[in-house]
Chains A and B, each alone.
Chain A
Amino acid sequence: MLVVLISAVGTLIFRQHPRARTALTVAGAVGYAGSVAALSWTVVLAPDAPGIATYQVGGHQAPYGITLVADGLSAFMLATVAAVALASAVFSVGYVSNIDYDRRTFYNPLFHFLLLGVTGAFLTGDLFNLFVWFEVMLMASYVFVAYYGGPQHTRAAFWYVALNLVASAVFLLAVGGIYATTGTLNMADLAERLADPDAYGIDAGPVVGLFALLLSVFALKAGLVPFQFWIPTAYRAAPPPITAILAGATKKVGIYAIVRLSFTVFAGAQIGVSLEIPGTGIGIAGDTPLAFVGPVLFAMGALSIVVGGLGAIDRDTLEGVLAYSSIGQMGFIAVPVALAATAASDELRRLAILAALVYALNHALAKGLLFLAAGAVRTATGTIRFDELGGLAGRAPALSSAFFVGSLALIGIPPLSGFFGKFLVFDTAVQANAAGTVALLLAGSLLTIAYMTRAWNRSFWGARTSAVAEGAADPLQVAVLVALAATVLAVGVGFDPVYEFAEAAAEAALDRDGYVDAVDPENGGENP
């Protein structure tokens, strides 16, 4: 698993040589994808796979040193990111050459820093280290949002930076509080101590509130309502290949952190939770922090679906629709996670996490594809406004069909990857006997159909406008899109291995004892 980091860091070193830059970026991305595949295979998929691998940085043992952990969940998320990153890196080759020299120089190193931050966040087993990786990732993404340096880009970047700096301070506060309360920041050690607070002489009560702080930080990264407002401006400002990464990978870090902390770390905590709005009798009560995470996350997810869907319907640019749509789609991922938190049985919980992961994979692929397609449209025609687009289907059939496949995957049409994601999410809701949830999901899906149909009609059908008639699609970009569309199709058709991988990931997310044992064998396994 070190290979992942080495390939990310190693390629960085050569970034400054202008000539070799482009080739190295692609090679770096290929190497990244390759090492992620190798990691996934050895750790999770191979017949004799251990299911989890750890690396103690600097040789310091677990509760003291920083641990890197790769289990099914991390590997699954990394694989998702690698697929998007590879496509985006190749896509960038053509895209970056249109930008002036100064900016081009820094594009590739930043691209890899972004990737490095995401990778680190997925692999780390330490809460403070997670904070550091978040900052690495954010620093790169700040620059990308401000990349073009125009009026709306600097403004979007400033908002993005201000929001995330506040979030970082809150994150730091929560980390400090957790350390003061429990005396540890190692996730495995933390899980251990919270499961049996008396044995360690700690009062775990405050952790619930601190966890709520963390949840708000992660929700901001994931862009769930009510923290969604930075997304449309930031996504419009960033270069399209980066937007694909932001939507496909960076957001998933937020979701990953929620899943990891909720189910691996805090699920075992025996803390009475009882919140009540005074005078109403409406409240939340339970004996783990999950009882609190569930309803809150559910409300966030539900609102995201509605706000994202309604927002996407009347945007007047292609990227605007996609940005709002990704708020809505994050809701589709958050709702099953919330259902998992409140699930009555382990089986349902596993199914719910599985659904969220498969949906996350689908969203990363499909939304990555769509954002890249929007970038290709911009390169070809110089605009992404619906007013100036029309008739692209006849002008650029390959590009259009890739976009079409992406839309269908987002909507959830059977042979594509989206179908299984949506199917599993609905299945979870049905099994949880949540009729209201099913109705909500149905409404969200209908909104998805509505806005994607509108985007398709406005830009790809209809009379050919002058911008479309004069423009020509870049063949390399189209090739990437077609390859990504083929991946979406392949994931849908050959869903079985993906399902097994996701199942292993969901298993890993819930297997608290396994996680603790692997990270900290001396301490682990004492507590059931």
Chain B
Amino acid sequence: MAAFVLALVVGALFALGTFLLLRRDLIRVVWGLAIISQAANVYLLTAGGIVRGTFESVPVLAGHGEGAPETADPLVQALVLTAIVIGFGMTAFALVLSYRVYEEHGTLDVSELGRGRDRGDRE
């Protein structure tokens, strides 16, 4: 059940991210980027398998000095942590950059920026 819901969530996130990416407003594009990378993270998490949490699956509670109980794959969670950190930095950078774009161009509309390009090429 959880896997099914997560699959739906991943799909919805990707759809939403793609939709936002294709908007004309630069801030929405940044949102789209953030959402797509989060969708990738959720997808990675599901790749590790989902285990219902019970107190037996907590190593300290399950026993002392014995082998750790089987849980969801911790490696993907480590990967996702790394990816979240990277994604956070990237989103922050993209937001600052879109502010700079606004300062330089006075607009956040992608198609107006595109018109500016033709002038920029002549420069």
Interface SS of A by simple majority: helix
Q: Which of A151, A162, A177, A179 contacts B29 (CB 8 A)?
A: A162
Interchain CA distance A473-B90 in the complex, whole Å: 39
Instruction: Take A151-B104, A162-B33 as given contacts and tell me if A172 and B41 are in contact as well, using a CB distance cutoff of 8 Å.
Output: yes
A139 touching B93, Cβ below 8 Å: yes
A109 to chain B, nearest CB (A): 15
A257 to chain B, nearest CB (A): 18
B100 touching A152, Cβ below 8 Å: no
Counting contact residues on chain B (CB < 8 A from A), the size range is 20 to 34
A155 at the interface (CB under 8 A from B): yes
22 contacts between A and B (CB under 8 A): A128-B82, A146-B97, A146-B100, A149-B100, A151-B105, A152-B120, A152-B123, A154-B105, A155-B105, A155-B120, A158-B94, A158-B97, A162-B94, A168-B86, A169-B37, A172-B43, A172-B83, A176-B43, A176-B79, A177-B47, A179-B44, A180-B47
Cβ–Cβ < 8 Å partners of A139 in chain B: 89-90, 93
B101 touching A154, Cβ below 8 Å: yes
A155 touching B37, Cβ below 8 Å: no
A493 at the interface (CB under 8 A from B): no
B113 at the interface (CB under 8 A from A): yes
Cβ–Cβ < 8 Å partners of B113 in chain A: 155
In this complex, what residue of A is CB-closest to B106?
A: A151
Interchain CA distance A274-B104 in the complex, whole Å: 51
B101 touching A158, Cβ below 8 Å: yes
Extra inter-chain contacts (16) besides given A135-B90, A158-B26, A166-B36, CB under 8 Å = A128-B82, A132-B86, A149-B100, A152-B116, A154-B100, A154-B101, A161-B94, A165-B33, A168-B37, A169-B33, A169-B39, A173-B44, A176-B40, A176-B44, A179-B47, A180-B47
Q: Which of B37, B104, B123 contacts A154 (CB 8 A)?
A: B104
Instruction: Give a binary string over B86-118; 1 marks a CB under 8 Å from any A CB, 0 the rest.
Output: 100110011001101100110000000100110
B71 to chain A, nearest CB (A): 16
In this complex, what residue of B is CB-closest to A165?
A: B33
Instruction: Take A169-B37, A176-B40 as given contacts and tell me if A157 and B47 are in contact as well, using a CB distance cutoff of 8 Å.
Output: no
Which of A131, A152, A176, A180 has the most CB atoms of chain B within a 10 A radius of its CB?
A176
A396 to chain B, nearest CB (A): 24
* Tally of contact residues, A, Cβ under 8 A: 30
Interchain CA distance A158-B79 in the complex, whole Å: 26
User: Which B residues form the contact surface with A (CB < 8 A)?
Assistant: 21, 26, 29, 33, 36-37, 39-41, 43-44, 47, 75-76, 79, 82-83, 86, 89-90, 93-94, 97-98, 100-101, 104-105, 113, 116-117, 120, 123
Q: Which of A146, A149, A173 contacts B40 (CB 8 A)?
A: A173
Residues from 145 to 185 in A contacting B, C-beta threshold 8 Å: 146, 149-152, 154-155, 157-158, 161-162, 165-166, 168-170, 172-173, 175-177, 179-180
Cβ–Cβ < 8 Å partners of B41 in chain A: 172
A152 touching B82, Cβ below 8 Å: no
B37 touching A161, Cβ below 8 Å: no
B23 to chain A, nearest CB (A): 12
B104 touching A149, Cβ below 8 Å: yes
In this complex, what residue of A is CB-closest to B37?
A: A169
B86 touching A176, Cβ below 8 Å: no
A179 touching B76, Cβ below 8 Å: yes
Interchain CA distance A131-B85 in the complex, whole Å: 13
